[in-house]
Amino acid sequence: MNAGLAGIIGAIVALVFAHGRSSPYDNYVLLAYSLLHDHTIWIDRVWPDASIDAVLFGGHRFVVNDPVPALLVAPLVLLTGLAANQTLVACLLCGVATGAAWLLLERLGVANGTTVWLVIFFLAGTDLLWCSMLGDVWFIAQTSAVAFTLLALCELAGKQRGWLVAIWFALALGSRFTLVMALPVMLWWVSAGFRAPDRNSRRLVDFVATLLPFFVVWVAYNEARWHVPWDSGHTIFYHQDPFMGSDTGSPFGLDNVPVELYSFFVVPPMLRHAFPYLVPLSFGTALWFTSPALVLAFFARRPVRLVVSLWVATVLVAGPSLLYYANGGSQFGMRHALDFAPFVLVLMGLAIREGLGAVWIAGRALIVWSAAVGVWGCWYWNTFVRPGT
């Protein structure tokens, strides 16, 4: 198998689980339509109702989520208008992410047999498949961010062209801006080398020169929406959220950390006396149950500089989610973990590449468990939560 075939399989699997659905939370279709037909960045004319996240600001309704997925949906919107299927694009992005995961592990020197195990885990043992098969506004953003982050890491593990790393990273940022927290580590990888020390100032110049226009556009986009250089959309939404929000203050705070840690690491599924007996809570289900194979990342030891920097990137990217007032629900598992999952996948690959002995037997059992739980979560959502969409 190669990366292309893995990507095709990943897309097909996502499409099968999507069973022809078109997400009702198609904010990116609405945004793309407004951009193409009304030449506006607000969605007043096509805003359906309050069932989707769209903030009211300055007399207009805005999609609060980051805009890159709207650009990816735009070709379909040109062809089919508001009937464009956002979920289809999410499934295709799932294929890109799956293929990129394979290529990344291949470039890290992970054996093909082991790569199969890790790619199966990444597709089904994380929330990647679940997010992709639904394709809702929040979920396609997660899949898009994962796909482009993996492509950036692929380039770092390959030719290390600074300009191309910047393009992939910019597209990831434009999908989930929380990944900006990884920028310091990206800068270090580009300038000092990824897999091994390899200082190259030209790569750094290319990276910065290519990324800088993205930030210029990003500031202009925020000025046009919120009249400030930064993205204040989530704060505005927090002030308008009738369920968990507040009229004042910030959506980010240390007070949110205990609930987030409980969500990520503690909360179990619910046992019932009737079929299906085990129920994932819409609040989320902790990683120890849904993705226990992630523990393999802790066995990564070499190269030390890469292992340490990957953990730094993981912690930095997890930071905004741990401080945020909402944990990502309604959801299966913990979808915000996808923000840092690409870095953890590299750690898992490094750990297994060096040989884990008997631990790898347990590791494969954990991968089987993670993938089985992920498929079960998709089945449960399709059967009981969203059977008709």
Work out the percent of the chain whose per-residue pLDDT is above 90: 90
Those residues whose C-beta lies under 8 Å from the C-beta of residue 287, and which sit 6 or more positions away, are: 264, 265, 294, 333, 334, 337
Residue 365 near residue 356, CB atoms below 8 Å: no
Q: Could you tell me which residue, 353 or 117, shows the higher pLDDT?
A: 117
Work out the percent of the chain whose per-residue pLDDT is above 70: 99
| Rounded average pLDDT over 73-93 | 97
Q: Give residue 355's pLDDT band: very low, low, confident or very high (50, 70, 90).
A: confident
* pLDDT for the residue numbered 335: 96
* pLDDT for the residue numbered 329: 79
* pLDDT for the residue numbered 333: 93
**In this model, does residue 50 exceed pLDDT 80?**
no
| Rounded average pLDDT over 139-167 | 98
Q: Give residue 38's pLDDT band: very low, low, confident or very high (50, 70, 90).
A: very high
* pLDDT for the residue numbered 69: 98
At position 343, the amino acid (one-letter code) is F
pLDDT tens readout for residues 308-326 = 999 999 999 999 999 999 9
* pLDDT for the residue numbered 53: 78
Mean pLDDT over each residue of the chain, to the nearest integer: 95
Q: Give residue 242's pLDDT band: very low, low, confident or very high (50, 70, 90).
A: confident
- Three-state DSSP string of the chain: CCHHHHHHHHHHHHHHHHCCCCCCCCHHHHHHHHHHHHCCCCCCCCCCCCCCCCEEECCEEECCCCCHHHHHHHHHHHHHHHHCCHHHHHHHHHHHHHHHHHHHHHHCCCCHHHHHHHHHHHHHHCCHHHHHHHCCHHHHHHHHHHHHHHHHHHHHHCCCCHHHHHHHHHHHHCCCHHHHHHHHHHHHHHHHCCCCCCCCHHHHHHHHHHHHHHHHHHHHHHHHHHCCCCCCHHHHHHHHCCCCCCCCCCCECHHHHHHHHHHHHCCCCEECCCCCCEECCCCCCCHHHHCHHHHHHHHCCCCHHHHHHHHHHHHHHHHHHHHECCCCCCCCCCHHHHHCHHHHHHHHHHHHHCCCCHHHHHHHHHHHHHHHHHHHHHHHHHHHHCCCC
| Rounded average pLDDT over 34-40 | 95
R_g (Cα) of the chain, nearest Å: 20
At position 21, the amino acid (one-letter code) is R
| Rounded average pLDDT over 357-368 | 93
Those residues whose C-beta lies under 8 Å from the C-beta of residue 1, and which sit 6 or more positions away, are: 102, 112, 116
Residue 280 and residue 377: Cα distance in Å, rounded?
7
